[in-house]
Structure 1
Amino acid sequence: MTAGADDLPPLRDVIRTHGLDARKGLGQHFLLDMNITEKIARAAGDLSGRDVLEIGPGPGGLTRALLQTPAERIVAIERDARCIEVLADLGKTYPDRFELIVDDAMKVDATALVRPGAAIVANLPYNVGTPLLFRWLDHPAHFGSMTLMFQLEVAERICARAGDRHYGRLAVMANWQWETHKLFDLPARAFSPPPKVTSAVVQLLPRARPLAPADGEALSTVVAAAFNQRRKMLRQSLKSLGVDTQALLADAGIDPTRRAETLSVEEFCALARGFQGAR
């Protein structure tokens, strides 16, 4: 265990002393079991010499586990003013390895805070987890890995494959440039307060190259159009793109009677290339 960890008071005592009740409006559910936080830190892989970015550390349960790894630097973004004093104590204990950013993660350029190859490891607030992930997906060259906790349903949507009932825009955009894996589930009782849903830890690793060539903006537009009317055939759902839908599908070699959930990532990329050319 890293020197200094033994000097920290138990998390439950910290929460009681500072009145840190988790707030629904901030999507907070604190993870206090150190066995679980250490399991997540181990799941992040070899962090030796790397920067680690954590979002919404709250009272610092997962942060403590990350500080016990060989990571060179932990950067945490926290917007809840009540947690600042608690996290500042971690900075005093680990002055050369822990940096606290008091800000809203949705307003921060994460790539400016950590060096290339950094890991993102976080128990993400439920209300901003998916929007944050969409922002990070655009930077596979900067982030060496992402080990993130979501609601189970969101985790399944990230890792879904064509034909799965959870397959949609999130799965296509995530798996285009990343390998996605659901690592393990966490029951509601692991949190304080317990959420009404099961949670799961997902890991995303950048691919050496995307599954197929495509412009990211064009791909996002095509995928959004296709899944916006997912029950309809593609010849109908893609009309919102404002191009010749029949020609677009024909050029990509895709049957116009198919539906969005049956298309592979590579097929969506083919449509994106055609759409970009048509524009």
Structure 2
Amino acid sequence: MVSPALPPLREVIARHGLSASKALGQNFLFDEKLLDRIAAIPGDLAGRNVLEIGPGPGGLTRALLRAGARVTAIERDPRCLPALAEVSEAFPARLTVIEGDALTIDPAGLFDAPYDIVANLPYNVGTALFIGWLSGENWPPQWRSLTLMFQQEVAQRIVARPGNGTYGRLAVLAQWRSQAHLAMKVHRSAFTPPPKVMSAIVHVTPGTMPEHVSARMLERITEAAFGQRRKMLRQSLKSLNGAVEALTTLGIDPQRRAETLSVDEFIAIARQLSR
């Protein structure tokens, strides 16, 4: 797709006097080749609806538009709106910018058709947004895929397997009815200003919803189990009525700890308690 001429992002930032806000968890990416690689992770975006969170001055936004997407971007920082307006003018009717807090906006109300979420998430709200998109009883969700940049440590927690030190509640929530994999690592030097930690991009696609399992019950079980992860399951789950008995019924040793249970075992416990 032929892209309209836009000034380099560094020039736009300098002209508008923008700087990354630590309070908002901002770090800017300028490398167009890198941004195009990120935009390619969900597959062909031509004509598809994409939700972007925290576009900042619009680096990734440009890449998504170059890939042919129709982008709806939610930006909390009013300083970035003039730069995004320039991008919108360059791609008529392809970019909608909403000023607001993504934590308070329901994406389902923004689209009439399925959409993809692609975002360099602000570090301070990324995990909360991610859990929100994975939650709820309605499945499959309206989103077709999540392509999200996190701190590398968080990304590793999302794709971790049982027995790994990073395996926890986030991994179970991401994997019990979705497929999650680490799509790309991004060196800290790629950002302006460079963060203190490395980053990585996780790609998630919805899977099949296990039968007879309440999403809310599974969320409660993982919250209790990993909230006291050093304790045996008979202790960490005792606040959930019937949970210890469910372990016995399922043949799961109540002396085990949460980090040793597979995703399928958590699903089995949730199914038992959902009856």
TM-score by length of 1: 0.94
Point out where structure 1 has 5 or more consecutive residues left out of the alignment: none
Residue 244 (structure 1) shift: 4.0
Distance 1:97 1:2 in 2: 14
Residue 93 (structure 1) shift: 1.3
From 85, 88, 93, the counterpart of 1:88: 85
Q: Does 1:204 align with 2:204?
A: yes
The one-letter code matched in structure 1 to 2:118 is V
Q: CA 1:195/1:213 → structure 2, altered by over 3 Å: closer, same or farther? A: farther
* Contact 1:212-1:266 within 8 A present in 2 as well: no
Provide the identity percentage. 53
String of CA shifts for 1:153-207, please: whole Å, max 9, x gaps: 0000111111111111110011012100101111111000000000001100111
Distance 2:2 2:212 in 1: 44
Residue 212 (structure 1) shift: 5.8
Distance 1:86 1:49 in 2: 23
Distance 2:147 2:37 in 1: 11
The one-letter code matched in structure 1 to 2:42 is A
The one-letter code matched in structure 2 to 1:107 is T
Paired residues for 1:1-279 under 5 Å: 1-4=1-4, 6=5, 8-71=6-69, 73-138=70-135, 140-207=140-207, 209-210=208-209, 213-241=212-240, 243-277=241-275
Q: CA 1:231/1:172 → structure 2, altered by over 3 Å: closer, same or farther? A: same
Residue 47 (structure 1) shift: 1.3
String of CA shifts for 1:242-274, please: whole Å, max 9, x gaps: x24431211222111111011111211121122
Distance 2:160 2:262 in 1: 11
Cα RMSD after superposing both structures: 1.4
* Contact 1:238-1:245 within 8 A present in 2 as well: yes
Point out where structure 2 has 5 or more consecutive residues left out of the alignment: none
How many correspondences in the alignment? 272
**Structure (1/2) with the larger helix percentage:** 1
Distance 2:231 2:27 in 1: 38
Q: CA 1:182/1:212 → structure 2, altered by over 3 Å: closer, same or farther? A: farther
Q: Does the residue aligned with 1:45 lie in a helix, a strand or coil?
A: coil
Distance 1:211 1:274 in 2: 12
Distance 2:194 2:271 in 1: 45
